[in-house]
Amino acid sequence: MKMTSRSLSRAALASAFLATTLGVSLVLATSATGAASTLGAAAAQSGRYFGAAVAAGKLGDSTYVNILNREFTMITPENEMKWDATEPNRGQFNYSGGDRILNQAVSTGKRVRGHALLWYQQEPGWAQRMEGSDLRQAMMNHVTQVATHYKGKIYAWDVVNEAFADGGSGGRRDSNLQRTGNDWIEAAFRAARAADPAAKLCYNDYNTDGVNAKSTGIYNMVKDFKSRGVPIDCVGFQSHLSGNPPGDYQANLQRFADLGVEVQITELDIAGSNQANAYGAVTRACVAVARCAGITTWGIRDTDSWRTGENPLLFDGNGNKKAAYNSVLDALNAATPTNPTTPTTPTTPTTPTTPTTPTTPTTPNPSGCSASVSLNSWNGGFVATVKVTAGSSALNGWRVTTNLPSGAAVTSSWSASNSGTTGSVTWSNVSYNGTVAAGQSTEFGFQGTGSAEGITSTCAAS
């Protein structure tokens, strides 16, 4: 998990809810010899994914997006789903960046790893100043609200990130989160499971590539969680390397897998003159472990990397494939193939499953679009997801009016601009979701207080 202010200090340390559920379509590009010719297609042959960390601000870069669309089957938001981005003010949520990446993923048949619900860094300023029971209440609410917003849309969540200390102790890192009580990680996982039962729940950390004190501390936590029924499904290994992985890299992955959890290489980047061999070694280790679900590189091109000047990724700054790319592709193609079924291609992000109140009926509109609302409600509040569907003609802009019941009020929103917060609220598209092909859909959403049961909506082309 990277951000510039922290990344430079970390450089010195760097030494299925599955595709069928989300309707993911994998385009299995093959060469003349029958081997897959893209990373995602090659990984899919053995039932795995190959992904990249993505920044919403780079989705306007055509070279970046072309590589993303061609090569990868999993997307991890770099910063857009972290606490400071999603809840900048207490109780006021902003999902615009995360939703943009989610929509990009689903519209191109990819899945999403949610990253990350709780991390001692990139807390919003208001949370940094909190301690004790007040912080515990705030962080549990954050986990619940964010996981609820993305319910049914995320393959796996990094529920907790980097909670163990470096060095030889194998113990927890001191942080304001840790000081709320040693059970805070367990509490976060239980809250995430309650909010989104279908998502895989992961613990994610760095400097855990071999069998060492830190990885063993995490291993013992996972073993304890599994023995007591704490919901944990996967462990993420960031693998920011400088040269070859440790000699016990595969054995370390395997010992975690033997606990009954999925292992995922979550933030891979490798610097050094031996880069191609090192990437091949990491990939071969993953495909040798049956429970290694996939690999994600932390960025796409060298110029996108947090490790400035080290050129640690698979594509150079111009988007050209490097020797390391070929090493990874060859290792993926050499893995034992499976015969997965071919799922269908989604056109829009799926709406949350099992809402607590029924979906309101779609309201046809003669001006060319319709809108329907799904609610996820709790005592005193709700999240509404609004699906906008074009009629027989494409939309170049849309406007939706939602009529809220008395006592209900909007507190935050994403993927739309609104006028008003109570009663009749008008919503307009933002820059990236105004164009909707005939018969296709897009979504926006909002959170509110009170009860929204009985909400109605109408849509008009603008």
Instruction: Supply the residues annotated as catalytic.
Output: 162, 267
Q: Which residues contact 52 (CB under 8 A, 6 or more apart)?
A: 68, 71, 72, 74, 75, 76, 296, 297, 298, 299, 300
The secondary structure of 129-173 as a DSSP string is: T--HHHHHHHHHHHHHHHHHHTTTT-SEEEEEE--B-SSSS--BP
Q: Is the dihedral of CA 27, 33, 35, 36 positive or negative?
A: negative
CA of residue 405 relative to chain centroid, distance? 33
Q: Which two tokens stand for residue 227?
A: 């023995």
Q: Which two tokens stand for residue 220?
A: 């013992």
Choose among 242, 252, 332, 323: nearest CA to 294: 332
Q: Is the dihedral of CA 123, 166, 287, 33 positive or negative?
A: positive
Phi first, then psi: what are they for 186, rounded to 5°?
A: -60, -45
> How far is residue 141's CA from residue 355's CA, in Å, rounded to a whole number?
18
Lay out the sheet containing 381-390: strands in order across. 369-378, 381-390, 441-449, 409-414
